[in-house]
Amino acid sequence: MTAQTMETAQQTPALQLAYGTNWFTVCELSRLTPGRGIAALLPDGRQVALFVDRAGRAYAIDNRDPFTGAYVLSRGLVGSVEARPFVASPLLKQRFDLATGACLDDDEVHVPVFGVRAA
């Protein structure tokens, strides 16, 4: 690794998730593209769906669609309604608030959310 490469790697913020009482580094923040999600695997085997909005705010929710059981939310359509960012499941199109995990189409359903930070 060259000195320039090491310097660039040190300057690139990492996306971290609240994981138990610690923070778990998932990826470089630059790997996220506004309007698109990516999936990440946690040490305990759970999957999270990671998103960043156009303002640069990052979000992390469970990747499992509670309606189908499929791990697909990271591949959903991203949008907003009344200034609330959401992802719509690519399967049945239910929308999940990225900040709270609440289903916007069924008040009784939600997905877990994870605290995120850039470090």
pLDDT tens per residue, range 12-30: 799 999 999 999 999 999 9
Q: How many angstroms separate the Cα of 114 from the Cα of each of 22, 41, 82?
A: 12, 13, 22
Q: Global pTM?
A: 0.88
Residues in the chain: 119
User: Residue 10 — pLDDT band, cuts 50, 70, 90?
Assistant: low
User: Residue 112 — pLDDT band, cuts 50, 70, 90?
Assistant: very high
Query: What SS3 string covers 22-88?
Result: EEEEEEEHHHCCCCCCEEEECCCCCEEEEEECCCCCEEEEECECCCCCCECHHHCEEEEECCEEEEE
**Using one digit for the tens of pLDDT, what is the confidence trace for 57-83?**
999 999 999 999 999 999 999 999 998
